[in-house]
Amino acid sequence: MSAIHYSIKEINKYLPPTNHWLILASSVPVALSCGTVFAFSIYSTQLSEQCNLTTSNTSSLNISMVIGSALGGLIGGLVTDVFGTQLPMLLGCVTMFFGYKWLYELFNQGEDASLMFLIISMFFVGIGSTAGYFSAIKAVTIEFPNFKATAQSITIACFAISSLIISFIATHVFQSDIAAFLKFLYITCGSLNFIGFLFIRVEGHYKPGGEVFIEDNENEAMALLPSHSHPKTKNLSHLDLKESIMHPIFWYHFFMFSIIQGLGQMYIYQVGFIIKAVYNYYPGGNLHHLQALHVSLIAVCSFIGRLSSGPTSDFLVKSGFQRHWGLVLGLTIMLMGHLFNILSLDIFGSLHVANIFLSINSCLIGFAYGFSFTCYPAIISDIFNMKNYSFIWGLMYSSTAFGLTLMSRLFGFFYDLHSEFDGDDLVCFKGSGCYFQTFEITSSLCFLVICFILGYIYYRK
């Protein structure tokens, strides 16, 4: 690894100079390329038909991609902290290019395509989706110490909006020609990640001979933080990696982040079933159109939430407040959305009126999820050592799997409990009766998290 690092440093002598504005600008194409991982649903159905895959097999591809993204975040984070940002950028460039290209070739093979090769190709795509992305987040955090949350929000928002842009391209440019679309993905993602390799050049703490150091700009980043932003946890910035991840404050945020992610992502992934339940209760209209509408609303509002979260967080700190107040604001909006899902659909009287209400609800939860999520990278960078930031954030991000799994299973349990067989299909005709119990529980969880965050704010004061 050190030999590759040394080779890259030699290559850098021939590259154009970079600066903090170029680093921020280059994080945008990196985030857009990495966000294509959420575009799997665009081509999953055609891929399944072309390669003769069962629903279970197709789910295995998605799971492989999720596992790859978790591993990519951890490995990429560790490499970023030690060797700097360019190695993970190169890793993301190669793995996304190779993964999508292999997927493109397997798609063209049709029924002769190996399921194992399909799973491995999606695993590579997953690795690439977080390796460069997390590296870019650390780079902008270091380069903009006074406006770290604002800089992070730009990168994170571009990651979120990527799937919507890619969906538009797939539908309107490639006319659902999946083979051409996959070819576009491997060329585009490889190229956009390579831009990050060229311009996002921030060193890690590796030095020949095994010594470690913290970059001057990392020390400056900690020095410029207002003292009130980390009063109780100031000493945590001097802990090594092992001490940081063993500290109770890390695990407190680990579980809080897990629940917050579960609250938002459960609704995002299950909104199709919610709309279907409403559609079955008030027949009429086009189900797929309604589902697509809500997916688009959530994506746009999540983008707006992420983009507005950073400046809000920085404003709070400069005004003498803690960043955690941003979490309280986001979770309060999230709580409103979950409480609204408890209401009976009988009060609306028609699908049209119910859909307007649910559209507002999707906007609230989409915005709240994006806003709350984007608060966390800056919070973690305030508390812990920037030298190990990427690995700590990657480990924190892995908590998503626990919260999402728990709440998705909760939703599935109550939805199936109220469903009945209509021919060979299990269908729920009870409208909000299909899922209101889930949101009674998640609303309580959301309220508890708000209380815990307020308790933490009081503890730090």
Banded pLDDT at 193 (limits 50, 70, 90): very high
**Domains contained in the chain, CATH given:** 2-199 (1.20.1250.20), 229-460 (1.20.1250.20)
Bigger pLDDT: 108 or 40? 108
| 33-42, 234-243, 448-457: range with highest mean pLDDT | 448-457
Return the higher-pLDDT residue of 211 and 17: 17
Tokens of 16: 């154009």
d(CA 8, CA 79): 14
Contact between residue 75 and residue 129 where contact means Cβ atoms under 8 Å apart: no
Confidence class for position 424, pLDDT limits 50, 70, 90: low
pLDDT > 90: percent of the chain: 39
CA distances to 90, 200, 354, 437 from 17, in Å: 18, 10, 55, 57
Whole-angstrom Cα distance, residue 428 to residue 425? 10
How large is the C-alpha radius of gyration of the chain? 22
Closest C-alpha to 320, from 234, 230, 228, 232: 228
Q: Which residue has the higher pLDDT, 167 or 228?
A: 167
User: How is residue 286 written in tokens?
Assistant: 């086009």
pLDDT of 166 over the 70 cut: yes
pLDDT category, 352, cuts 50, 70, 90?
confident
Greatest mean pLDDT range, 29-33, 207-211, 404-408:
29-33
Predicted pLDDT of residue 90: 92
What's the rounded Cα separation, in Å, for the pair 13 and 86? 14
**99-152 pLDDT tens trace:** 999 999 999 988 888 889 999 999 999 999 888 898 999 999 999 988 889 999
Closest by CA to 24, choosing from 115, 113, 156, is 156
**pLDDT (average), residues 249-274:** 90
Most confident by average pLDDT, 95-104, 266-275, 349-358, 423-432 = 95-104
- Inter-CA distances, 333 with 151, 178, 226, 231, 449, Å: 23, 38, 28, 28, 13
- The pair of structure tokens assigned to 8 is 């890259």
Mean pLDDT of 389-418: 86
